[in-house]
Amino acid sequence: MCQSTPTTTVHPVLDGCLTPPADVKAINFSPGPCNLPEQVEDEIKATFDAPRASSMYLSHRSPEFVKILQDARKYTKEALCVPDNYEILFMHGGGHGQFAAVPLNLMSSPEDKATYLVNGTWSKRAAAEASKYGKPVVISSENEDGTFTSNPDAAKYDPDSKYIYMCSNETVNGIEAYRLPKLGPDSPPLVVDGSSDLTTKPIEWEESNIGVIYACASKNIGHPGLTLVIIRNDMYGKQQNICPGVLCYEDNIKADNAWNTSCTFNIEVTAIMMKWICQEGAMPEMEKRSIIKSSMIYDVIDNSNGFYSTPQEKSIRSRMNVPFDVAGGDVEITNEFLIKAWEQGIIGLRTKTPFGVGKYLRASLYNGISIQQTEKLKEYMIEFMESKK
């Protein structure tokens, strides 16, 4: 259990603590980093007992590691049905690294334009970062009060754009595109931040004209420190001179993902995770589970007579992150909800974020959360609501 500082008496869970009471098993609904499926965690543990050295201390140029890298690519390709004309990179720098890498690689000069569809926290940050290196044309659906409750119209893109940027699941705001847009063959290529939903639904690579899609690993495909970047082979080699090598698609592709020391252990974790996704039935199965899990929680909210509420209308509700308030955001009841959840091992519903404490809690239902674990949250939410009647 977390130690609160001597000067405060705040309950650890209200301070963002992620450790439940000693004898209770944790179910981690954090928005990221989050748990991996149990079988994946077991297989990761087993790598430490393998006859070969752990990938934590394998040279990134050793034959053992080259095999791990090949596996990571193979299972990623299989899990996501990546066509042959795309390169797969495991890079550094997380989602934010790609906020910079995308404009640096795809806008050849600071005068180049790109359309940024902004429908939440992360796409807004990406557009701000892009403005350091080029001219983003922002189409935003931000409301006057700073919230997001709809999507901008993608068809209004600027035709001179080098690319059209979007985030397919806005993790903080709880807005998801269940399918990527198909803007037609004459539209600029689509660049997608899939950090919090990649692998959880099918991708139509050609129809959606995907130029680049990326995901930081810490939501659905691994742990923090690795960014999966998938790049169509006509999209690299146009970078600005100032593009750092570590973020440069061309340099990393030409160096076969070993331009500098790759994140060896993270790549093995993602290889194991992608293998698990393939074995379970890949994107169609992950999507099926996501629909089941998110429906369970949204149904409780919708049938609660307003005891719980969620900000987004049905057609855009995220299957990955379910924001909800308790008793209209009443602080005392919300805190009681969090503490009693914690007592049952249900954690991560309110984590510390750079975006402050809003009235919404958030249940994140990534690949590492099972249907049974979601059932526990559902039962708890019903039980808590009943106790307040």
Ligand X SMILES: *Cc1c(COP(=O)(O)O)cnc(C)c1O
Site for ligand X in 187-206 (CB under 6 A): 193, 195-196
Which 122-181 positions form the footprint of ligand X (CB under 6 A)?
122, 167, 171
Write the CA distances from 217 to 131, 226, 269, 271, 358, integer angstroms. Answer: 25, 6, 10, 11, 25
**In terms of CB distance, is 154 or 381 closer to ligand X?**
154
CA distances in angstroms from 297 to 33, 171, 215, 237, listed in the order given: 21, 16, 25, 45
Which is closer to ligand X, CB of 352 or CB of 388? 352
Counting residues that bind ligand X (by CB under 6 A) gives 12
Residues 6 or more apart whose CB falls under 8 angstroms from that of 169 comprise 175, 176, 177, 194, 195, 196, 197, 318, 320, 321
Helix then strand then coil, % of the chain, to nearest 5: 35, 15, 45
Q: How far is the CB of 227 from ligand X (least distance, A)?
A: 7
The answer to whether the beta carbons of residues 258 and 120 sit under 8 Å apart is no
Among residue numbers 327 through 386, which ones bind ligand X (CB under 6 A)? Answer: none
Q: Minimum Å distance from CB 205 to ligand X?
A: 20
The residue among 115 and 364 lying less far from ligand X, judged by its C-beta, is: 364
Using CB under 6 A as the binding rule, whether residue 323 contacts ligand X is answered as: no
Residue in 60, 74, 96, 182 binding ligand X, rule: CB under 6 A = 96
Least distance in angstroms from the C-beta of 256 to ligand X: 24
Asked if residues 173 and 148 have their Cβ atoms less than 8 Å apart, the reply is: yes
Query: 103: alpha, beta or left, given left = phi > 0 and alpha = psi -120 to 50?
Result: alpha
Report the C-alpha gap between 258 and 126 in whole angstroms: 26
Smallest separation, CB 169 to ligand X (Å): 6
State the minimum distance, in angstroms, from the CB of residue 31 to ligand X: 7
For ligand X, the binding residues in 31-50 under the rule CB under 6 A are: 32
Torsion over CA: 206, 208, 211, 214 (sign) = negative
Peptide bond into 33 cis (omega under 30): yes
Kind and range of the H or E element at 225? none
Nearer Cβ to ligand X, position 213 or 326? 213
Give catalytic status of residue 49 as yes or no. Answer: no
Q: Is 122 a residue of the active site?
A: yes
Selected catalytic residue, list 135, 162, 219, 293: 219
Known catalytic residue at 259: no
Active site amino acids: 122, 193, 219
Contacts to ligand X by CB under 6 A:
32, 94-96, 122, 167, 171, 193, 195-196, 216, 219
